[in-house]
Chain A
Amino acid sequence: MTGLLIIALVTLVPAAVAMALRNVIHSALLLILSWAGIAAFYFWAGAEFLAFSQVLVYVGAISMVVLFAVLLTRHTRTDGGVAPDTLGRALAGLLIGGAVLGVLFGAVLSTPLPIGSKPAAAVTVHGLGVELMERHTIALLVVGVLLTVALLGAVVLAASDSRSGPEDAR
């Protein structure tokens, strides 16, 4: 129970701070911490393989991509100036977010959730592999295709268009 509380702290606090910070780089770095917390949660819950995956994908890959994106878009204008509409939007966001939080909390707390008596059996990596390659082969293949296509799409979208003429700059 304590572990879970620590994990919650490690996860929520950096996330909240990251959302509030002005500097995007800092936000990104803090989010890495939050993602690591989530990995810890997976570990705590007994899904070790998932925890490693979370670390590899989020902490390792996505954070790097985010950093690159921040750096690539950074040099002209920072997200500094508070535009007249920014404050209003922040307030509205807080309000709505709070409402959602309230609703969710209300829903969770008002629902009795019986817990299964059996302790979680460990899901081995071997078991996962068998599951993936037998029952979910097609899904696995589709995900592979999806990743390839996403990669190609990202390359195409992000590649600097050498032929970009004046009409592209509109």
Chain B
Amino acid sequence: MILTPLHLCLLLSSALFCIGLIGALSRSSSILVLLGVELMLNAANLNFIAFWRYGPNPAAGTGVLFVLFSIAVAAAEAAVGLALVIAIYRHQRSIRLQDARRLKG
């Protein structure tokens, strides 16, 4: 079993992902939940770069482009998500995620 740099990169991204996940699962502030989700997204980006870097054809730049779009989408997501938080706050006078369950089926 040889630990290559790619393995390390993947372990890094996995750890980051799990930190984000734990944050998102355990915190009740919706802002922090969003930040956790943001971390998970970043962890995924790390994987793209890692595979691009150590993949068979790094000259293509596909991974870079993918991450670039991903960042753009993440920016949009962050903006909309935080705006939602503010909207929820305005209605609920609270940013606790467990209070926002009015859409329950």
A47 to B55, CA, bound (A): 14
Give the shortest distance, in Å, between A70 (CB) and chain B (any CB).
Answer: 6
Q: Classify chain A's interface size.
A: 35 or more
How many B residues, CB 8 Å from partner?
78
Q: Which of B7, B42, B64 contacts A38 (CB under 8 A)? A: B42
Do the beta carbons of A12 and B69 come within 8 Å of each other?
Answer: no
Do the beta carbons of B16 and A12 come within 8 Å of each other?
Answer: yes
Contacts known (A143-B69, A158-B87); A61 close to B75, Cβ less than 8 A: yes
Instruction: Please indicate the chain A residues that have their CB under 8 angstroms from the CB of B85 in the complex.
Output: 69, 73
Contacts known (A19-B22, A46-B53, A146-B72); A72 close to B61, Cβ less than 8 A: no
Contacts known (A96-B25, A101-B14, A115-B6); A28 close to B64, Cβ less than 8 A: no
Q: Which of A15, A31, A45, A49 contacts B53 (CB under 8 A)? A: A45
Do the beta carbons of A128 and B61 come within 8 Å of each other?
Answer: yes
Instruction: Please indicate the chain A residues that have their CB under 8 angstroms from the CB of B77 in the complex.
Output: 150
Contact mask A140-170 → B, CB, 8 Å, 1/0? 0001001100110111011011001000111
B interface residues (Cβ-Cβ under 8 A, vs A): 1-2, 4-12, 14-29, 31-32, 34-36, 38-39, 42, 45-46, 49-50, 52-59, 61, 63-65, 67-69, 71-80, 82-87, 89-91, 93-96, 98
